[in-house]
């Protein structure tokens, strides 16, 4: 499998930032790869997906402190994602890999409390859309909760 190097970022990714590691088990090449290689590997092993993305979107991370699962309230995210489970685990551990991969079997994306989000799909562009959709959903919830705190009258849509 192909994975980004440790501490690389989407914004300035180059071909040199991608390394090949074994999908069935760890090897010495893992030392150069992202700390979350173990999570990516477990998702590939437990789902039929061919692309996994991981990011640290701020609204999603903030909501992860308050929810066991995030339920999108905006129409698009609500229809597509239904819910985003929130799991726990230390970065780069087998424990995190297991809980994320298990939750990923039935969801497009999984949030990790105080950390970030994983999304997986058949293709990379689709996984990227899910990452963006999760953060958009979290941003809408964040804004809505803040407006509710301003004592405005909340109008729930009659139907989605
Ligand atoms: Zn991370």
Categorise residue 123: left if φ over 0, alpha if ψ from -120 to 50, beta otherwise: beta
The CA 61 to ligand 1 mean position distance, Å, reads 11
Confidence of residue 154 (pLDDT cuts 50, 70, 90): confident
Position 140 scores a pLDDT of: 97
- Domain membership of residue 159 (yes or no) is no
Q: How far is the CA of 56 from the centre of ligand 1 (A)?
A: 6
Beta strands in the chain (DSSP E): 2-4, 18-20, 51-55, 69-70, 84-87, 109-112, 116-121
Q: What does the DSSP 8-state code read for residue 159?
A: -
Is residue 155 situated within a structural domain? no
pTM: 0.91
pLDDT of 153 above 90: no
Residue 19 covered by a domain = yes
Whole-number Å distance, alpha carbon 42 to ligand 1 midpoint, is: 15
Q: Which tokens belong to 129?
A: 């859309």
pLDDT digits (tens, 9 = 90+) for 92-121: 999 999 999 999 999 999 999 999 999 999
What spacing in Å lies between the alpha carbon of 36 and ligand 1's midpoint? 7
Residue 35 sits in a domain whose CATH number is 3.40.225.10
8 CA from centroid of ligand 1 (Å): 11
Gap from CA of 64 to ligand 1 centroid (Å): 14
Q: How far is CA 26 from CA 3, 94, 96, 103, 114, in A?
A: 13, 11, 16, 22, 26
Structurally, how many domains does the chain consist of? 1
Which tokens sit at 122? 């058949």
Which residue, chain included where needed, has tokens 């477990």? 42
Within-domain flag for 156: no
CB 52 within 8 A of CB 44: yes
Question: Please, what is the average pLDDT of the chain?
Answer: 94
Chain length of the chain: 160
- Residues 17-33 have pLDDT tens digits of 999 999 998 888 888 89
């Amino acid at each position: 499998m192909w994975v980004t190097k440790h501490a690389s970022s989407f914004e300035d990714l180059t071909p040199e930032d991608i390394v090949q590691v074994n999908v069935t088990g760890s090897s010495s090449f893992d030392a150069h790869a992202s700390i979350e290689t173990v999570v990516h590997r477990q998702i590939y092993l437990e789902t039929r997906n061919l692309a996994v993305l991981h990011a640290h979107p701020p609204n999603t991370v903030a909501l992860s402190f308050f929810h066991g699962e995030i339920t999108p309230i905006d129409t698009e995210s609500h229809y597509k994602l239904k819910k985003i489970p929130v799991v726990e685990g230390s970065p780069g551990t087998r424990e995190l890999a297991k809980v994320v991969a298990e939750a990923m079997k039935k969801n497009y994306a999984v949030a990790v409390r105080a950390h970030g989000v994983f999304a997986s799909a058949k293709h990379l562009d689709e996984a990227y859309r899910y990452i963006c959709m999760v953060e958009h959903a979290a941003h809408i919830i964040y804004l809505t909760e803040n407006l509710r705190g301003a004592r405005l009258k909340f109008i729930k849509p009659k139907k989605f």
